[in-house]
Structure 1
Amino acid sequence: MSNTVSKDIFSFFKKLEKNNNRDWFNEHKPEFKAIEKDVKAFYNTILENLNTHDEIDKLKIFRIYRDVRFSKNKLPYKTHFGGSFHRTKPKLRGGYYLHIQPNNESFIATGFWEPAPADLLRIRKEFEMDDSEIRAILADEAFNRIWGDSFIGDEVKTAPKGFSKEHKAIDLIKKKQYIFTKKYTDKEVLDTNFINDINQAFKAIRPYFDYMSDVLTTDLNGVSLID
């Protein structure tokens, strides 16, 4: 386990940005493997912290190798670490993500990146029927001091099929993703308090996750969809 991020992560990625090719990477692979080991320990400490106040069934740390088959960007390596924490389904919904990247590009994210079509429709129907509870969560001072007071993510231009563009909750209904993010500078990432800040931010998202989990495990009449 590890409670801090090594500054070697940023220095390595800055060098990789200038030498993003297989020859350079293979030559410096022992350095990368040592950094990767430290990073995995840090992510596992976050997992341990999360499981003191949530139920996480899976941690996925993404590989450094880019899939260039369908991308115009043919650089072979990512210049960041990313890892996601999956809550225990079906009763718990939502997920957590940590992104570590130099040049003040690090961030954490929570929410619903790519809701399944059935889940997306269910969320929209809930907001169409009653948007008061989600707006109360978004308006909470302690919540939006950390996460802001509105979702980020893609949305349709006017209204999804079957919904009125004049509906009072159309700002919520037209979203395709329901995400929150919190950015960090390089200095903040290297600070000894970084891991505690992450944990407190993830704790603060729980009212939103509890609400969405309830929505996605019941029908519009409030009847449970799971055993």
Structure 2
Amino acid sequence: MIQPSTLKFLEELKLNNNKPWFDAHRKEYEAARENFAGFINELIREFGKYEPSIMHLTAKDCMFRINRDVRFSKDKSPYKTNFGASINAEGKKSMKAGYYFHLSPGESFIGGGLWHPLPADLNKLRQEIDYNLPEFQKILSAKKFKTTYSGLYAEEGQLLSRVPKGYEPDNPAAAYLKYKSYTALSDIPDAEILSKSLPGNSIKAFQALQPLIIFINKGIDE
């Protein structure tokens, strides 16, 4: 269960994103990170009953570092103000589709999919959607998926204005072929983050996403 102190630490980090403050509050950081890791381990253990390929993972395999890479960014804030975990059979650096949990006060969400794929994988997936459009549409129209995610996430800058080269504008799958990332996200209010129902609801959210993950990975593996 996510503790209020974990959200509090992240809230305070947003207001004090500098090394001296972080060093002075390292114990709070370590406690918050341990709390989040415990939650991720619980997700792996419980969702692993439905997705055996992740059972070998631990939170350490999934969680991202809190330090930001500021080398190419105008924003030189040294720390992320969230905890994130990519639950993927091949680990957090995998280029395949997987599951994701993002913890940030007022901005938490759950979901997953294929984010910023390699060009070759993106081409394979678009071809899979073109060839198996009815199956893809059935996944997106499933009641559990629509109730949880409403649809694919249209990330800013991740939609083409035209269908990609090699496809006709009137292709029945045109609306889906324009995506450059294939993800689905569902916001989680802070009240739910701190509730006892979060683990169970998170498992249900991953279950609703699972058919899409399977479809995507099948497409890029072929």
In the superposition, the TM-score normalised over structure 1's length comes to 0.86
Q: What are the equivalent positions in structure 2 for 1:76-225 lying under 5 Å apart?
A: 76-87=78-89, 94-102=97-105, 104-153=106-155, 154-218=158-222
Match of 2:71 among 69, 80, 85: 69
Provide the rounded CA distance (Å) in 2 between the counterparts of 1:35 and 1:198. 19
Matched, 1:29 2:36: no
Which runs of 5 or more residues in structure 2 are unaligned? none
Preserved CA contact (<8 Å) 1:87 1:94: no
Q: Deviations over 1:20-74 (max 9, x none)?
A: 1111111111111122112111111111112111111543211111111111111
Please tell me whether Structure 1 or Structure 2 has the larger radius of gyration of its CA atoms. 1
Shift of 1:149: 3.2
Matched, 1:41 2:41: no
Match of 2:11 among 11, 14, 25: 14
Structure 1's 88 and 70: CA in aligned 2 closer, same or farther, altered over 3 A?
Answer: closer
Preserved CA contact (<8 Å) 2:6 2:35: no
Provide the rounded CA distance (Å) in 2 between the counterparts of 1:33 and 1:142. 36
Which protein is richer in helix relative to its size? Answer: 2
Provide the rounded CA distance (Å) in 1 between the counterparts of 2:164 and 2:178. 6
Secondary structure of 1:72 counterpart: coil
Secondary structure of 2:62 counterpart: strand
Q: Could you say which residue in structure 2 is the equivalent of 1:50?
A: 47
Shift of 1:209: 2.4
Provide the rounded CA distance (Å) in 2 between the counterparts of 1:213 and 1:61. 21
Shift of 1:206: 2.0
Deviates more, 1:60-69 or 1:206-215: 206-215
**Equivalent residue letter for 1:156:** L
**Equivalent residue letter for 1:129:** Y
Provide the rounded CA distance (Å) in 2 between the counterparts of 1:167 and 1:113. 24
Secondary structure of 2:88 counterpart: strand
**Equivalent residue letter for 1:49:** E
Shift of 1:190: 0.3
Determine what percentage of the aligned residue pairs are the same residue. Answer: 32
Provide the rounded CA distance (Å) in 1 between the counterparts of 2:63 and 2:109. 15
Runs of 4+ in 1 over 4 A off after TM superposition: none
Provide the rounded CA distance (Å) in 1 between the counterparts of 2:221 and 2:15. 48
Shift of 1:116: 2.4
Shift of 1:88: 5.1
Count of residue pairs brought into register by the alignment: 211
Q: Deviations over 1:155-186 (max 9, x none)?
A: 21112122222222110111111100010111
Shift of 1:191: 0.4
Structure 1's 94 and 76: CA in aligned 2 closer, same or farther, altered over 3 A?
Answer: same
Preserved CA contact (<8 Å) 1:16 1:79: yes
Preserved CA contact (<8 Å) 1:5 1:190: yes
